[in-house]
Amino acid sequence: MSHSVLSSTILDSADRIHSSNCASWGTAVVYEDAVQLETSELSAEVISYGLAARRVYSDLRRLVGQVAGLLILVQTSQKREALDLPILAGAKALWGEIPDRLKVLRVPGSLDLNFYHLKSSYEWIGTCILALSDLANIEGAPDLTVALGNLAKAYRHLQSASSDRLGMTMVDFRQSCCNCGG
């Protein structure tokens, strides 16, 4: 099936997946606006932290996905060439931006544990990226045991940092087909 045929097939079936009043037909919801921290009953200190921590959380969530995808690619192909893809360089670059964002977070005492989990997830993701970089220089079949274990730890910390009230969730279903009940 060609790309254009597949695209039109997906578009043709969209009206059977979403009801006519589904929000997905309209303009996209901006994630920062979806959880209205500014109008909540949380303290200004918690709101400020939540807004700034969302960016870190979102970047960590993206990194977990990128690293997991790269690990799958290397594992299934058993080829180091997968490590030459721009995904690894992009992950390294994004990972390198996060420390500055972590440093400027003003963490209210009630959210110390949340910050701990964000920081721990960041550190474990870093060990995965380093392990993947090191694999490029090692002969033989790639052993992903350490990287997979560390990614699992990063994911668990990120799950622990998740907070509905701060708008930091692992999966966002607001634009999904089941959101409109259709």
Amino acid symbol at 72 = I
49 in any annotated domain: yes
CA–CA distance, 80 with 68 (Å, rounded to integer): 15
For residue 34, being part of any structural domain is answered with no
Confidence (pLDDT) at 151: 95
Please give the residue that has the higher pLDDT: either 135 or 94.
94
Question: Does residue 153 lie in a domain region?
Answer: yes
User: In which domain, by residue range, is 115 found?
Assistant: 42-169
The tens digit of pLDDT for each residue in 41-70 reads: 778 888 888 889 999 999 999 999 999 999
- The four Cα atoms 122, 125, 131, 132 give a dihedral, to 10 degrees, of -130
| In-domain check, residue 79 | yes
The reply to whether 35 falls in a domain is no
| CA–CA separation, 106 and 103 (whole Å) | 8
| Residue 131 or residue 181, greater confidence | 131
CB atoms near residue 69 (< 10 Å)? 14
* Residue 126, in any domain of the structure: yes
Q: What is the pLDDT of residues 71-103, one digit of tens each?
A: 998 888 887 777 878 888 999 999 999 999 999
Tally of domains in the chain: 1
Residue 182 inside a domain? The answer is: no
Asked if residue 117 is part of any domain, the answer here is: yes
pLDDT of residue 5: 38
pLDDT of the residue at 115: 95
pTM score of the predicted model: 0.72
